[in-house]
Amino acid sequence: MSAHDTPHDDHPHDDGHSHGTRRGYLIGFALSAVLTALPFWLVMSGAIANAQTTAAIVVALAFIQIVVHTIFFLHINTKSEGGWTLMALIFTIVIVAIVISGSLWIMFHLNSNMMMPMNPASAPPAP
């Protein structure tokens, strides 16, 4: 099955975009099926009583699955397009991390300073 990677007579792909192999897609699919089923099972069955621990595991599995998809489905590696796709990806990850963590950080502190309840359950009962 791994030998299915057909020779490209008309357009060599040495430094171009890689399209992957059947084996690569199947490995990626198997990994992501497990990485999807596991968090759904954890949350739906409530296998771990502590919600915080479950949340941490679910988030960790999501990050692993994103890496799996990037490698096996999007075929991003150090060689594709002479490394520029990876560069663009790293730049984007940095910006995404700044935007999301910065927003959450600032708004959380803003909420605290405004003495707003973060969660309606802890709000004082309405008169």
Partner 1 sequence: MATPSTDKAETSPTFYLVEESGHHHAASGGSTLLGFWIYLMSDALIFATLFATYGVLSTSYAGGPGPGELFELPLVALNTAFLLFSSITYGMAMIDMEAGNQRATQIWLAITGLLGAAFIGVELYEFTSLIHEGATPQTSAFLSAFFTLVGTHGLHVTFGLIWLVVMLVQVGQRGLNADNRRRLVCLGMFWHLLDVVWIGVFTFVYLLGVLR
The residue to which tokens 């099955």 are assigned: 1
Of the candidates 46, 38, 44, the one whose C-alpha atom is nearest the C-alpha of residue 64 is 38
Q: Hey, which residues between 73 and 112 contact partner 1 (CB under 8 A)?
A: 73-74, 81, 84-85, 88-89, 91-92, 95-96, 99-100, 102-104, 107
Among 66, 77, 109, 112, binds partner 1 (CB under 8 A): 66
34 binds partner 1 (CB under 8 A): no
47 binds partner 1 (CB under 8 A): no
Q: How many CA atoms lie within 13 A of 113 on its CB side?
A: 6
CA atoms of 115 and 112, how far apart (whole Å): 5
38 binds partner 1 (CB under 8 A): no
